[in-house]
Amino acid sequence: MRLVILGSGRGSNAAAILEAEKAGRLGRARVVAVFSDQPAAGILALGERFAVNSAFVDPAPFKTKLEGAGEARFIAAVSAAQPDLVVLAGFMRVLKPGFLQAFSGKIINLHPSLLPSFPGLDGIGQAFRRGVKITGCTVHSVTLEVDGGPILDQAVVRIETGDTLEMLVEKMHTAEHALLPAVIRRLSER
């Protein structure tokens, strides 16, 4: 299974996937490319570190969605890598019909909440401010509805009395770094 990872930030979830592959814990999946919509994103440094093609793809003209010329550039870049699965690991843009149709049934996303609770931006902060005692992370198929696609798996994270937002973020990253590679492994073995 050929994987393409899309991300916008430092790339900790992409690194977890690449580390799992290196350790033989990714099943029959292998990462063939990493792309970012941010030219200085930390995720791009993973390419050299793991000997995987990585590149910035210009998402213009929009700031929060992938549409128009930017969407066309992303479709071309991802298509060239011939993916069996496109993994959104901190990719901070809303996907539109063109991209979704180009990779229909092949896109999964990691979201930092137990969907359907706290969709959209800042799922961790939303849960923390709301005072819930149990939150977590979700891997789901991507559809037109933001964070609304079929749930593939979830991991629970308990918010303890005395936890700070920073502590919760760390707990969430630990859960995400285990969940996402495990889901990819299962998908690769189907």
Catalytic residue IDs: 111
Element (H, E) at 29: none
Tally of CB atoms within 10 A around 187: 20
Q: Which residues does 66 contact at the CB level (< 8 Å), separation at least 6? A: 37, 59, 74, 93, 94, 95, 96, 99
**Could you tell me if 129 and 158 are in contact, meaning their C-beta atoms sit under 8 angstroms apart?**
no
- Beta-bridged to residue 158, according to DSSP, are 134
Nearest to 82 by CA among 109, 53, 58: 53
